[in-house]
Amino acid sequence: MKKIVSGIKPTGSLTLGNYLGAIKQFVKLQEERKEDEFYLFIADLHAITTRQTPHELRNRTLDIAAMYIASGLDKDRTTMFIQSEVLQHAELGYILQSNVYMGELERMTQYKDKVAKGEESIASSLFTYPALMAADILLYDADYVPVGDDQKQHLELTRDIANRFNHYYNDFFTVPEPIIPEVGARIMDLQDPYKKMSKSSDNPKGYITMFDEENMIKKKIRSAKTDSLGVIKYDPINQTGLANLLNIYASATDTNVEEIVLKYKVSNYKTFKEDLGQVLVDLLIPIQERYQDLIKSDSLQEILNQGRDRASDYAFKKMRKCKRKVGLGRK
Ligand code: TYM
- Residue pLDDT, tens place only, 267-279: 999 999 999 999 9
User: Hey, what CATH class is 3-185+298-326 in?
Assistant: alpha beta
Q: What is the whole-number distance in angstroms between the Cα of residue 109 and the centre of ligand 1?
A: 14
3-state DSSP assignment of residue 227: coil
Strand spans (E) along the chain = 3-8, 37-42, 78-82, 144-146, 177-179
Rounded distance between C-alpha atoms, residue 226 and residue 111, angstroms:
30
CB 213 within 8 A of CB 221: no
Stated pTM of the model: 0.96
- Residue pLDDT, tens place only, 31-71: 999 999 999 999 999 999 999 999 999 999 999 999 999 99
Cβ of 46 less than 6 Å from ligand 1? yes
Higher per-residue pLDDT: 56 or 12 = 56
pLDDT at 324 over 90: yes
Rounded distance between C-alpha atoms, residue 83 and residue 305, angstroms:
12
Question: HSE-up of 231 (CA within 13 Å, CB side)?
Answer: 5
- Residue pLDDT, tens place only, 264-318: 999 999 999 999 999 999 999 999 999 999 998 999 999 999 999 999 999 999 9
Domain 204-292: assigned CATH number: 1.10.240.10
Residue 222 is predicted with a pLDDT of: 98
> Which residues are paired to 60 by β-bridges?
none
Burial of 327 (0-12, 13-18, 19+ CB in 10 A): exposed
Higher per-residue pLDDT: 282 or 182 = 282
Cβ of 16 less than 6 Å from ligand 1? no
Residue 184 is predicted with a pLDDT of: 86
Residues with Cβ within 8 Å of 310's Cβ and at least 6 positions away in sequence, in order, are 79, 81
Q: What is the whole-number distance in angstroms between the Cα of residue 43 and the centre of ligand 1?
A: 10
pLDDT at 117 over 90: no
- Residue pLDDT, tens place only, 193-249: 999 999 888 899 999 999 999 999 999 999 999 999 999 999 999 999 999 999 999
Cβ of 142 less than 6 Å from ligand 1? no
Q: How many CB atoms lie within 10 A of CB 83?
A: 24
Active site (annotated) includes residue 323: no
Residues with Cβ within 8 Å of 183's Cβ and at least 6 positions away in sequence, in order, are 247, 250, 251, 256, 257
| Catalytic residue from among 196, 218, 220, 318 | 196
Residue 248 is predicted with a pLDDT of: 98
Active site (annotated) includes residue 199: yes
Q: Whose CA is nearest to atom 25 of ligand 1?
A: 8
The DSSP string of 138-194 is HTTT-SEEE--GGGHHHHHHHHHHHHHHHHHHSS-S---EEE--SSSSSPBPSS-TT
pLDDT at 331 over 90: no
Q: How many CB atoms lie within 10 A of CB 189?
A: 22
Atom of ligand 1 lying closest to residue 197 CA: 15
In the predicted model, what is the mean pLDDT of residues 75-99?
97
Cβ of 6 less than 6 Å from ligand 1? yes
Question: In the chain, what are the domain boundaries?
Answer: 3-185+298-326, 204-292
- CA 225 to centroid of chain Cα atoms: 25
Task: Note the maximum CA span of the chain.
Answer: 73
In the predicted model, what is the mean pLDDT of residues 113-131?
91
Active site (annotated) includes residue 114: yes
pLDDT band for position 114 (cuts 50, 70, 90)? confident
Cβ of 43 less than 6 Å from ligand 1? yes
Q: What is the whole-number distance in angstroms between the Cα of residue 151 and the centre of ligand 1?
A: 6
CB 14 within 8 A of CB 47: no
Best probe residue, ligand 1, of 4, 5, 8 (max atoms within 8 Å of C-beta): 8
CB 49 within 8 A of CB 93: no
What is the overall mean pLDDT for the chain? 96
pLDDT at 157 over 90: yes
Q: In the chain, pLDDT over 90 holds for what percent of residues?
A: 93
| Catalytic residue from among 28, 75, 114, 263 | 114
pLDDT band for position 119 (cuts 50, 70, 90)? confident
